[in-house]
Amino acid sequence: MSESVKLSVIYYSATGTGTEIAREIAETAEKEGAEVRLRRAAELAPAEAIASNPAWAANAEATKGIPEATPDDIVWADAVVFGSPTRYGNVASQLKQFIDQLGPQWGQGLLADKVYSGFTSSATLHGGQESTLLALSHTFYHFGGIIVPPGYTDGSKFADGNPYGTSHVDAQGNNPVDETTRTAARVQARRVVRVARALKADSSL
Ligand SMILES: Cc1cc2nc3c(=O)[nH]c(=O)nc-3n(C[C@H](O)[C@H](O)[C@H](O)COP(=O)(O)O)c2cc1C
């Protein structure tokens, strides 16, 4: 039997929306036969800021068991799915800080030729999900990555409406991750694993 696809889900989430999506992607990829590492970007915010927001504190406590991401989690992987909440239409500094520490691996070409994909969430419908996912993909270009978006490759994509990546509008915590978003996460995870498996089988790459 061929070696299984190795997939890392590397994300940052303050108040837990991204954690839900990351877990859904990780579980689906495992069901698809991938070997999965679920990793969170290290927190940079001061303890007082986290403690002042009950959802942030609860998510920090609930995700203590998820290891912090290291560069090896990308080097090891055939496919990487990054996730970040929208921060003013952009990637959260915690995830960006992790990405900005990858210079040595990038310089050695160790980030190239892998499948990359992204997910996000925002408080509002037009609050910058697409710009956040596109900002993430700028990094994938620099890695020499193979960007695999969900597109409209499944009928369900016309319900969630985001071909750039799984996304969720959380309405400041009033709209928990729902079945529409979970379906989008599953579609994206399956597609990422399938493409990575095909690339892995082609030894000419
Ligand atoms: C500093 C900051 C900036 C944010 N910027 C935006 C924004 O530009 N648009 C938006 O819709 N939501 C914005 N949000 C809300 C978060 O993106 C949203 O609540 C997200 O779903 C949180 O994900 P998490 O629960 O995984 O942390 C911002 C939140 C913070 C704390």
**φ, ψ of residue 155 in degrees (nearest 5):** -55, -35
| pLDDT at residue number 2 | 61
* Cβ atoms 136, 118 nearer than 8 A: yes
- Which candidate, 55, 89, 83, places its Cα nearest to that of 176? 55
Q: Residue 205 has what pLDDT?
A: 73
Give nearest CA residue, ligand 1 atom 1. 87
Q: Quote the pLDDT of residue 151.
A: 98
Q: What is the pLDDT of residue 137?
A: 98
pLDDT value for 202: 86
- Residues flanking ligand 1, CB < 6 Å: 13-18, 85-89, 121-124, 127-128, 170
Tens-place pLDDT, residues 27-45:
999 999 999 999 999 999 9
Distance 122 CA to ligand 1 centre (A): 5
Tell which atom from ligand 1 comes closest to the C-alpha of 169: 21
Q: Which residue has the tokens 């599953």?
A: 186
Q: Whose CA is nearest to atom 8 of ligand 1?
A: 88
Q: What's the CA gap between 143 and 116, in Å, rounded?
A: 10
User: For tokens 């089988």, what's the residue?
Assistant: 201
- What CATH topology corresponds to 6-201? Rossmann fold (3.40.50)
Res 1: pLDDT: 44
**65-72, long-range: CB within 8 Å, 24+ apart, which pairs?**
66/38, 66/39, 66/40, 67/37, 67/39, 67/40, 68/39, 68/40, 68/41, 68/42, 69/8, 69/10, 69/39, 69/40, 69/41, 69/42, 69/98, 70/39, 71/101, 71/102, 71/104, 71/105
- Which residues of the chain fall short of a pLDDT of 50? 1
Cβ atoms within 10 A of the Cβ of 57, count? 16
